[in-house]
Amino acid sequence: MKTLLRLLLKSQHQRNRSGPTQTENGMTLVELLVGAIMAFLILTPMLGFVVDMLNTDRREQVKSNTEQDLQAAADFISQDLSQAIYIYDNNPATTSTPTTTPTGIPAISSQLPSPVDGTPILVFWKQQPRKNSVPFNPEVAKTVKPKDCDTNPGKCNDTYVLSLVAYYQIKETDSTSIWCQPSGGTCPTRIARYEITDGIRDPNATNTTDPNYPYYKDSETKDTQQRDPAFNTSFDFSKPTVNVTMPGAVFPDPEVLVNYIDHSTGPAVTGTECQTALGNPIDQRTATAIGEATLRIPSPDDQINSFYACVDTSKNLARVTIRGNSLRRLQPNDTAYNPNKSAFFPTATVQVKGLGAIGK
**DSSP codes joined into one string, 242-290:** SS-B-TTPPPPPPEEEEEEE--S--SPPPTTHHHHHTT--EETTTTEEP
pLDDT the model gives residue 18: 52
Q: Mean pLDDT score of the chain, rounded to an integer? A: 87
Q: How far apart are CA 160 and CA 50, in angstroms?
A: 58
Could you tell me where the beta strands, DSSP code E, fall in the chain?
Answer: 84-87, 118-135, 156-171, 189-197, 255-261, 282-283, 288-289, 296-297, 307-312, 317-323, 347-353
53-57, 204-208, 306-310, 327-331: segment of lowest average pLDDT? 53-57
SS3 assignment, position 56: helix
Confidence band, pLDDT 50/70/90 cuts, at residue 20: low
pLDDT tens digits for 103-145?
999 999 999 999 989 999 999 999 988 999 999 888 898 899 9
What are 199-256's pLDDT values in tens digits?
999 988 888 888 888 999 999 999 889 999 999 999 999 899 999 999 998 999 999 9
Alpha-carbon separation of residue 31 from 25, 34, 36, 38 (angstroms): 13, 5, 9, 11
Query: From CA 170, how far away is CA 190, in angstroms rounded?
Result: 5
Burial of 118 (0-12, 13-18, 19+ CB in 10 A): buried
Please give the model's pTM, rounded to 2 decimal places: 0.83
221-255 burial, b if ≥16 CB within 10 A, otherwise e?
bbeebbbbebbbeebeeeebbeebbbeeeebeebe
What is the per-residue pLDDT across 152-194, written as a single tens digit (0 to 9) for each?
988 999 999 999 999 999 999 998 999 999 998 889 999 999 9
| Per-residue CA distances from 333 to 122, 252, 253 (Å) | 30, 34, 31
